[in-house]
Amino acid sequence: MKIEIKKSQKPIKYEDALSLMEKRLHEIDKNKSNDLIWILEHDEIYTAGKTYKEDEIIDKSIKIFRSNRGGKITYHGPGQLICYFVLDLKKRKKDIRKFISVIEKTIIETLNYYQINSFPDKDNIGVWYDDDTEIKKIAAIGVRVSKWIAYHGFSINIKNNLEKYNAIIPCGITDRGITNLKNIKDQNYDNIENILIEKFISNLKSLNA
């Protein structure tokens, strides 16, 4: 299955990214386009998934974009790697849980490359890091499936402003923190998107029917 790899150098508006993914979804459904993996950044924005609650907004002055993805409220901004995808599960195994595991495995293997140990949690979607004082989220995942085509994506905090999360209860979780890679280990992450894409494509093979 051919996958188009797209890398945007300039920040992409959240609404524009959603429109492109939905357009691609309809094209894939009609066999008019290839699957897509898209690496980008967003300018500052708070987005809410379908299961968020109003009391998860601490600072009522912030603007929330209500999205059709799964999950709750999160923050996107400079210094955060976004990986969006539009992937046809009809041509793979129709197994959403396995697909989420592929994403988690991809993120964990990518961070392992940088000697950072992270882990999934069966009760809280995402990828986590234990700094010996608190378990903190390093990567968020939000997926939607339509016509057995999976889209939206995941984000990895690299050097984003963590104070922005104080305005919300990130992902609705109150007893855990948020961190980024620069806080964990201050090193060069310039090549992380290429490592991530390589791992993602490799791990997607486990879904081949």
Model confidence pLDDT, tens digit, residues 150-184? 999 999 999 999 999 999 988 777 778 999 999 99
Domains and CATH numbers, the chain: 3-207 (3.30.930.10)
Q: Mention every residue, 6+ apart, whose C-beta is less than 8 A from residue 205.
A: none
Q: Report whether pLDDT(1) > 80.
A: no
Determine the distance from the C-alpha atom of residue 135 to the mean position of all C-alpha atoms in its chain, rounded to a whole number. 19
Q: Active-site residue among 81, 149, 171, 204?
A: 171
State how far the Cα of 57 lies from the Cα of 181, in Å rounded to an integer: 25
Find where tokens 């901004």 sit. Answer: 77
Is 83 among the residues known to form the active site?
A: no
Inter-CA distances, 34 with 7, 62, 82, 144, Å: 16, 37, 20, 18
At residue 51, the pLDDT reads 85
User: Model confidence over 101-136: pLDDT tens digits?
Assistant: 999 999 999 999 999 999 999 888 899 999 999 999
pLDDT in tens, 84-105: 999 999 999 999 999 999 999 9
pLDDT digit string, tens, across residues 5-62: 999 999 999 999 999 999 999 999 999 999 999 999 999 999 988 888 889 999 999 9
Count how many residues are written for the chain. 209
202: Cβ–Cβ under 8 A, 6 or more apart, which residues?
A: none
What local confidence, expressed as pLDDT, does residue 100 receive?
Answer: 95
Q: What is the pTM of this model?
A: 0.94
Are 23 and 52 within 8 A, CB to CB?
no
Neighbours of 136 (CB within 10 A): 19
Query: Tell me, what's the pLDDT at 79?
Result: 98
For 40, the enclosing helix (H) or strand (E) is: strand 35-40
- To which residue do tokens 């201050």 refer? 186
> Whole-number mean pLDDT of the chain?
94
Residues in a beta bridge with 85: 37, 152
Distances (CA, A) of 203 to 4, 21, 91, 129, 130: 16, 21, 15, 21, 24
- Is residue 152 classed exposed, middle or buried when 0-12, 13-18 and 19+ CB atoms within 10 A define those classes? buried
Q: How many CB atoms lie within 10 A of CB 176?
A: 16
